[in-house]
Chains A and B, each alone.
Chain A
């Protein structure tokens, strides 16, 4: 199919539409037995017209899903220790450290050292556990906010909220990020025994795998002056790992590569990373298409399907 050479120039040229030629229809055109009439066509979801493209899509996803889920092989680095005060976890892979950091140190309450999976849950916790004004207001109005993002319901007690979570949002009754406070009054910093008591639960036995309890290397937090008990000063200062990373020995490449996911293989030996994605724009010329998946190495075995693979475009 030869395209006129001027076409590519037209594509690169200025926007604009063609001045239409005059339209002049003869009524004889649509007389029986002829029936052509121009019309835009729409196809609904399940139409057979989409069969080919859907099959292609399916094959592509198969490729993608084959690679997800295996444990990636992390490039090993000399062992280093987490630099957050009081944490003595040791790592030999940057990505492991990243996950550890985000899980345990990113959203930490500076009062009671509980770690939360998100800033949202942390903020809620601080408000409900450590804010005396909250307690006062809660006596007179609905202050307990629903935990589900997007739900604006508020409740009088945390128990009412839990009921709402269970009934309305189908949450488990023992949702681990909604532990009610057991003691009266705000939890004071440094009240290690109190915190431990709560962490232990009713029967005094540490609940296995219980979420976000006190970091195993508990350290007395510095005393907080009375005036500073409002929201944001209670978050740990390490809001991003780069501050902590900056203190680590310089052993990783300048550009921080996002963790890569591996080809899933039946054997023990793990393959190289599926892809590397640079978080920074490489500074190359405009309108680059970065294909984000390297062609995966394949084991033997019959392949009866044409695979649509993406290659890293060397642009």
Chain B
């Protein structure tokens, strides 16, 4: 439904985007095209050029006498190339790409820039034919990455990123052409604009469906991971736009599970942990700065990395047993609750992974008084409630010393509330927690009875997934 451009594409609401993601068609640059078309329709500037006009522009660009004239021709061409129709005509015109590539590699710097912009327009296309028509230019785009003009490099990188995401044929060519070493060299640039563009291009490369087999191994074998981690080091030199891109790159690498142990030895856990602390600090200081864009991939990376066996052995600047991580996470949870509640599950996922096998972190939750704030999240959504209850179970299952600290307090009444939910998962997790409390905390069952717990249980007696546990709890409550 999001393929096939043109006037029939419906406006992209968030629901449409979710569907696109599920169908694995969530391609950032695509929707861009349609919106720009809407604007163009309003402003009626980007015209559709025919063959003859395109020919004219190209000839003028190549052989014009006045430099301004030549540049102007390319500017006009570029505007026309905003329209898919013009793009189609362009690529079908014999010699057009060749001419454009010739201008791209000419010794006239400003013509070169304009030619690159034309190519960039083509790279936005949804039509794989148009994108693949740009193949002859890729070796030059890569070559220019080791140049020095930051403007130009930035443009080349965004163009490459767009081409990469659209076509497997392009990726199949870029890899042997040396895109990974080219990016590894380019990532040493001091220019933030270049770095952000590079991060974008790399993130698109790492998202490709064949990335785990064909791309990520060579990226891991290059110096890219080290540089990426360096660019994610918190401190005065950290730039948000750049960090966002590379955090997403890391996420795509890590969730592909190719060789996370390597990343851990390079200090990924430590760097990301420190970044989390920094994020929590920033969130307290700054209003509305888009920090959730960075928080999301950082949370994901940390959560996934914690499941690696290698995570156990880790040392480094930040021990992943450092209590400050929990403090930071809760500050971020509060931030997310206000700013982007849909990202709460990601934060709670990390909390689960931190607490599951860690008595120390469970103790931190208790000693830092974080149970009550946690309970506060129970009203947000079913997914969030299940996660909160899971974390509470992580704490409770460690025994009486832990349950004692969970008691008394608001926990019981929160549980009675969740028992009133209709969602089976939420209720199921509540039952698990109840059982642990009954087992380890004397008086819990009694208190439960006194607060009409049995009635709360009754409504679930017939539910298949819950029955057995409901009955078991009823027995325990009544008979000990």
A4 at the interface (CB under 8 A from B): yes
Verify B190–A18 contact, CB threshold 8 A.
no
Report B-chain residues with C-beta under 8 Å of the C-beta of A50.
Answer: 255, 300
Verify B281–A287 contact, CB threshold 8 A.
yes
Instruction: Please judge, given known A-B contacts A65-B158, A99-B110, whether A169 and B281 are in contact too, CB under 8 Å.
Output: no
CB within 8 Å of A: which of B304-319? 304, 306-307, 318-319
Nearest residue in B to A13 (C-beta to C-beta)?
B324
Verify B136–A279 contact, CB threshold 8 A.
no
A308 at the interface (CB under 8 A from B): yes
* Complexed CA–CA distance, A17 and B114 (Å): 57
A194 at the interface (CB under 8 A from B): no
Report A-chain residues with C-beta under 8 Å of the C-beta of B21.
Answer: 51, 54-55, 58
A200 at the interface (CB under 8 A from B): no
Report B-chain residues with C-beta under 8 Å of the C-beta of A265.
Answer: 39, 43
* Stretch of A127-135, A143-151, A224-232 contacting B (4+ beta carbons < 8 Å): A143-151
* Stretch of A66-74, A154-162, A180-188, A245-253 contacting B (4+ beta carbons < 8 Å): A66-74
Verify A38–B393 contact, CB threshold 8 A.
yes
Give which listed residue, A29, A41, A151, contacts B435 with CB less than 8 A: A29
* Stretch of B86-94, B125-133, B331-339 contacting A (4+ beta carbons < 8 Å): B331-339
Q: In terms of DSSP, what is the predominant structure of the interface of chain A?
A: loop
Report A-chain residues with C-beta under 8 Å of the C-beta of B107.
Answer: 103-104, 115, 211-213, 215-216
B11 at the interface (CB under 8 A from A): yes
CB within 8 Å of B: which of A30-74? 32-46, 48-62, 64-66, 68-69, 71
Q: How close is B66's CB to chain A, nearest CB, in angstroms? A: 13
Q: How close is A39's CB to chain B, nearest CB, in angstroms? A: 6
Verify A58–B17 contact, CB threshold 8 A.
yes
A140 at the interface (CB under 8 A from B): no
Q: How close is B313's CB to chain A, nearest CB, in angstroms? A: 15
Nearest residue in B to A176 (C-beta to C-beta)?
B105
* Complexed CA–CA distance, A291 and B349 (Å): 27
Nearest residue in B to A289 (C-beta to C-beta)?
B282
Please indicate which of the listed interface residues B40, B139, B148, B431 has the most CB atoms of chain A within 10 Å of its own CB: B148
Nearest residue in A to B341 (C-beta to C-beta)?
A52
Q: How close is B284's CB to chain A, nearest CB, in angstroms? A: 7
A3 at the interface (CB under 8 A from B): yes
Verify A28–B439 contact, CB threshold 8 A.
yes
Q: How close is B121's CB to chain A, nearest CB, in angstroms? A: 7
Give which listed residue, A20, A53, A311, contacts B360 with CB less than 8 A: A20
Instruction: Please judge, given known A-B contacts A34-B472, A301-B42, whether A291 and B28 are in contact too, CB under 8 Å.
Output: no
Nearest residue in B to A215 (C-beta to C-beta)?
B107
Instruction: Please judge, given known A-B contacts A23-B398, A42-B304, whether A289 and B289 are in contact too, CB under 8 Å.
Output: yes
Verify B149–A99 contact, CB threshold 8 A.
yes
Instruction: Please judge, given known A-B contacts A53-B343, A209-B62, A212-B107, whether A310 and B290 are in contact too, CB under 8 Å.
Output: yes
Verify A292–B196 contact, CB threshold 8 A.
yes
Report B-chain residues with C-beta under 8 Å of the C-beta of A309.
Answer: 290
Give which listed residue, B106, B136, B288, B369, contacts A4 with CB less than 8 A: B369
B14 at the interface (CB under 8 A from A): yes
Q: Would you give the 0/1 interface string for B117-143, flagging 1 where the beta carbon is closer than 8 Å to chain A?
A: 100110010000000000010011001
Verify B190–A279 contact, CB threshold 8 A.
yes
B187 at the interface (CB under 8 A from A): no
Q: How close is B216's CB to chain A, nearest CB, in angstroms? A: 11
* Stretch of B49-57, B350-358, B412-420, B450-458 contacting A (4+ beta carbons < 8 Å): B350-358
Verify B11–A43 contact, CB threshold 8 A.
no
Q: Which interface class (under 10, 10 to 19, 20 to 34, 35 or more) fits A?
A: 35 or more
A281 at the interface (CB under 8 A from B): yes
Give which listed residue, B242, B257, B300, B353, contacts A292 with CB less than 8 A: B242
Verify B39–A306 contact, CB threshold 8 A.
no
Give which listed residue, A17, A103, A168, A175, contacts B109 with CB less than 8 A: A103
* Complexed CA–CA distance, A32 and B121 (Å): 62
Instruction: Please judge, given known A-B contacts A40-B356, A44-B257, A310-B240, whether A55 and B368 are in contact too, CB under 8 Å.
Output: no
Verify B393–A258 contact, CB threshold 8 A.
no
A137 at the interface (CB under 8 A from B): no
Instruction: Please judge, given known A-B contacts A48-B22, A315-B286, whether A53 and B346 are in contact too, CB under 8 Å.
Output: yes
Report B-chain residues with C-beta under 8 Å of the C-beta of A103.
Answer: 107, 109, 112, 147, 149, 152
Give which listed residue, B289, B363, B364, B402, contacts A310 with CB less than 8 A: B289
Verify A66–B109 contact, CB threshold 8 A.
no
* Complexed CA–CA distance, A296 and B441 (Å): 57
Q: How close is A46's CB to chain B, nearest CB, in angstroms? A: 7
* Complexed CA–CA distance, A95 and B472 (Å): 75
Verify B324–A117 contact, CB threshold 8 A.
no
* Complexed CA–CA distance, A208 and B115 (Å): 14
Q: Would you give the 0/1 interface string for B384-422, flagging 1 where the beta carbon is closer than 8 Å to chain A?
A: 000000000110011111100100000000000000000
Report A-chain residues with C-beta under 8 Å of the C-beta of B40.
Answer: 266
Please indicate which of the listed interface residues B155, B241, B361 has the most CB atoms of chain A within 10 Å of its own CB: B241
Nearest residue in B to A119 (C-beta to C-beta)?
B146
Report B-chain residues with C-beta under 8 Å of the C-beta of A20.
Answer: 358-360, 362-363
A22 at the interface (CB under 8 A from B): yes
Q: How close is B292's CB to chain A, nearest CB, in angstroms? A: 7
Report A-chain residues with C-beta under 8 Å of the C-beta of B177.
Answer: 148, 169-171
Nearest residue in A to B182 (C-beta to C-beta)?
A149
* Complexed CA–CA distance, A305 and B372 (Å): 34
Instruction: Please judge, given known A-B contacts A29-B435, A52-B343, whether A313 and B289 are in contact too, CB under 8 Å.
Output: yes
Q: How close is B475's CB to chain A, nearest CB, in angstroms? A: 11
A11 at the interface (CB under 8 A from B): yes
A254 at the interface (CB under 8 A from B): no
Give which listed residue, B178, B321, B468, contacts A33 with CB less than 8 A: B468
Report A-chain residues with C-beta under 8 Å of the C-beta of B398.
Answer: 21, 23-25
Verify B150–A71 contact, CB threshold 8 A.
no
B477 at the interface (CB under 8 A from A): no
A242 at the interface (CB under 8 A from B): no
Verify B330–A7 contact, CB threshold 8 A.
yes
Verify A11–B327 contact, CB threshold 8 A.
yes
Report B-chain residues with C-beta under 8 Å of the C-beta of A58.
Answer: 17, 21, 26, 28, 31
Nearest residue in A to B290 (C-beta to C-beta)?
A310
Q: How close is A19's CB to chain B, nearest CB, in angstroms? A: 7
* Complexed CA–CA distance, A117 and B455 (Å): 78
Q: Would you give the 0/1 interface string for B145-185, flagging 1 where the beta carbon is closer than 8 Å to chain A?
A: 01111111011001000100000000001001110111011
CB within 8 Å of B: which of A77-129? 95-96, 98-100, 102-104, 106, 115, 117-121
A-B contact pairs, 11 of them (CB 8 A): A4-B368, A21-B401, A29-B440, A36-B397, A36-B436, A43-B349, A98-B150, A115-B107, A177-B143, A287-B282, A289-B238
Task: Give 10 nearest A-B pairs by CB, closest first.
Answer: A150-B181, A209-B102, A20-B359, A266-B43, A33-B468, A24-B399, A61-B28, A102-B149, A310-B290, A118-B146
